[in-house]
Structure 1
């Protein structure tokens, strides 16, 4: 069995007693080295989950356990050694005058020796393809480059969990693809648990498991292929369906025996090739 890294046990949260519940009795687990996606429409509670994992918020009901420790106001600084978060707007995370200063910031707060910091800066920037920009001022970078630096700053503290909270929302399609490839490569190299929080279903195909949030509750939890198969239901809760899934359905209607739910163009082409070979 895989080791649990994150546990939510009957967690509920609201932003004040006079406000409605944003999360309602949510329970789930995330395992070590797992790639998990959390999706849902705006206001479904997915970003609140991210903030609860990192101790930016605390639940009114239920319990959150990270790497065997319950998240409390007393334990939060230790919890944050395990959990790194990258937000939607990288400008909100920059504090240094140069790229290397910014990557060093989190390590300075943790009292990491300078010799170790120099090594980690180099390793983290190399991991995201930004090593040659060490002395560049952050405001001179493109949006995708800024997000890479933000990821490097998190990687430098050696977290066990990397959370991307809508981290590609401000990028163009090419930038999104590049960032997600960078992150999945880093996850494989570092054996991190990766949690991608997004409303873009195209980003979840590389996840092992998907949690779908709707109105503060867990609507479904399954592998991406099983989630994408529920096209009509996803539309009913305000989520779009990837083009490749729509195309697969249209091909079936046209009489082509496309048996499996394709997650990408390569899988669909493979299905069509198999179908052609057996006709």
Structure 2
């Protein structure tokens, strides 16, 4: 049984007393080493959840607990040791003149000894495939390389939770695939809880569990397979469905008895091959 790491308890938030509620009585839990995807249309509240988790915002109602500790003004610096966040535009996170300096910055602020900093810089840059660029100026890197460095900078502070807030949105498909492969490896090797807030359906299908936000409320919470089986309902709230799921649905309507709800090409081919073998 995995330990409960994050709790949202009846959390509501708005960006001003006269503004509408962005989150309305939101409750969910996230466990150690779990990969959660949070999806929803623009304005559904998903990025607000990320900022609340990292203490960039605080709820007007309800409470948020991380490792049993309530997120508030007094606990914020302790919370940020537990929760690392990578944003959509990595340029907004760079502060160092070289890649090495940038990865070191967060550790310096936390008073980590120099020998430990050197070790972590080497380990995290190696983990994201950027060790050969440690003396490079960040502005000379490609978009995908910048995101790798941003991830290394967060990993260097040894968080328990890594949040990617639309972190692949500015990358091309190849760059997205590479970053998510890196993140998947890092999550597994470091036993992290991973929260991806994304519009990319290929990221969503890799998660263990999906939280679907709609107008500030949790619309559904289930595995990717269960979520994407509700194609018509998702379209009604303005969300897309993976192409493979659409294709599988069309094949079923054509009388081809696919036994499962495939999430990727390999699963669909396996289903079709199994069906062919029986005929």
Alignment TM-score, normalising by the size of structure 2 = 0.99
CA positional deviation for 1:273: 0.6
Q: Distance in 2 between matches of 1:108 and 1:30?
A: 29
Q: Deviations over 1:36-76 (max 9, x none)?
A: 10000110000000000000000000000001100010000
CA positional deviation for 1:226: 0.1
- Residues 154-193 of structure 1 mapped to structure 2, 5 A cutoff: 154-193=154-193
Deviates more, 1:261-270 or 1:251-260: 251-260
Provide the alpha-carbon RMSD of the alignment: 0.6
Structure 2 residue matching 1:226: 3-state secondary structure: helix
Aligned to 2:237: 237
Aligned to 1:47: 47
Mapped contact 1:39–1:200 kept (Cα < 8 A): no
Aligned to 1:271: 271
CA positional deviation for 1:206: 1.1
Aligned to 1:133: 133
Aligned to 2:257: 257
Q: Deviations over 1:126-167 (max 9, x none)?
A: 000000000000000000000000000000000000000000
Unaligned runs of 5+ in 2: none
Query: Number of residue pairs matched?
Result: 279
Matched, 1:198 2:198: yes
Q: Distance in 1 between matches of 2:235 and 2:127?
A: 37
Aligned to 1:228: 228
Q: Distance in 1 between matches of 2:88 and 2:128?
A: 17
Mapped contact 1:39–1:201 kept (Cα < 8 A): no
Unaligned runs of 5+ in 1: none
Matched, 1:18 2:23: no
Aligned to 2:2: 2
Q: Distance in 2 between matches of 1:266 and 1:200?
A: 19
Q: Distance in 2 between matches of 1:142 and 1:82?
A: 29
Matched, 1:153 2:153: yes
Q: Distance in 1 between matches of 2:206 and 2:273?
A: 23
Aligned to 2:87: 87
CA positional deviation for 1:202: 2.0
Aligned to 2:111: 111
Deviates more, 1:111-120 or 1:198-207: 198-207
Q: Distance in 2 between matches of 1:253 and 1:182?
A: 37
Aligned to 1:143: 143
Q: Distance in 1 between matches of 2:34 and 2:202?
A: 18
User: Would you identify which runs of 4 or more consecutive aligned residues in structure 1 move more than 6 Å?
Assistant: none
Q: Deviations over 1:247-269 (max 9, x none)?
A: 10111122211121101000000
Structure 1 residue matching 2:210: 3-state secondary structure: strand
Mapped contact 1:12–1:23 kept (Cα < 8 A): yes
Mapped contact 1:39–1:198 kept (Cα < 8 A): yes
Q: Distance in 1 between matches of 2:115 and 2:202?
A: 40
Q: Distance in 1 between matches of 2:267 and 2:32?
A: 28
